[in-house]
Structures are given as structure tokens and as C-alpha cells.
Amino acid sequence: MLRSLYDKVSSTVDAQSVGREMFQSNALTQQELQSIQSKHSEPVKAAEQLLNIVMKQSDNVYSCFLDALKKTGHEDVFEVIVSDSCKLKGMYSTMSLLAFIPLFSFLLAYVLRGITAKSWSVSADMAGMVHSVSG
């Protein structure tokens, strides 16, 4: 479902106008806008670039993206995103769901690093106990 939503948005959104609107709202940097504008002869790639930028940003940038869709005459795309997002998970937006993936990965890495560090610590403590008992 996410892939079909991504495909629909990337094939119908005018990334140039949405990107300019987002830049004017301070949701995109000059560099990000230029990366979108550099693909002006390839509208689907420009839209994919815009979506990739938005997916890596905060919820505020995502909200600005939704506002920019409405302001640039992409109400139909806005409706598809909002309705498909609600189908995915209650009131959560697609971007909010996607935002949990890196967070989950980070937390998993943190926990595993902590477990690894603790197991090394426990192993060292046990080695110290074994050494003190035997020594």
C-alpha cells in the first residue's frame, strides 16, 4: 500500500511548485530546492526527490508538504494521502508511520549496544570474581 501511494504521488505531483511553496515556508533549504529543480526535465524523478526529502524530515515539514499540496492545486493528491494514511493506521499519517522505522532502528541498535556493553561488563565482572576466587 505504501509503495502504491508513493508511486501515485510521485507520478502526479508537480514537485517544482510544491518545492517552491515549501521553500517559501522555510520547510526546505536552498540546496534541497535546487536538488528538486535540477530534475525539472524529469518530473517523476523530481517528485521522488521531493518525497525522499520530506520522508527524512520532521512532522512539521510533512505538515508543510500537505499544506503546499493544497496551496498548489493538488487537493486530490492531498486527499489520497490523508485517506490512505487513515487506512494504514488510524489517525497516524504515512510520514509518522515511516518516521518510526529509523527511530525503531536507532532504539534497537541502542538496546543491542547496551546489552552488548552489559554482557561485556557482566563477563568482566564474572572474570574478576572467578579470578578473585581462584586467586
C-alpha cell at 3: 509503495
> Which superfamily does CATH assign the domain made up of 2-98 to?
Death Domain, Fas (1.10.533.10)
Whether the per-residue pLDDT at 91 is higher than 50: the answer is: no
Distance CA 55, CA 23 (A): 16
Condensed to tens digits (0 to 9), the pLDDT of residues 69-87 reads 999 998 888 888 777 665 5
Distance CA 127, CA 79 (A): 62
Q: Coil, strand, or helix at residue 74?
A: coil
The reported pTM is 0.61
Condensed to tens digits (0 to 9), the pLDDT of residues 93-128 reads 555 555 555 555 555 555 555 544 444 444 444 444
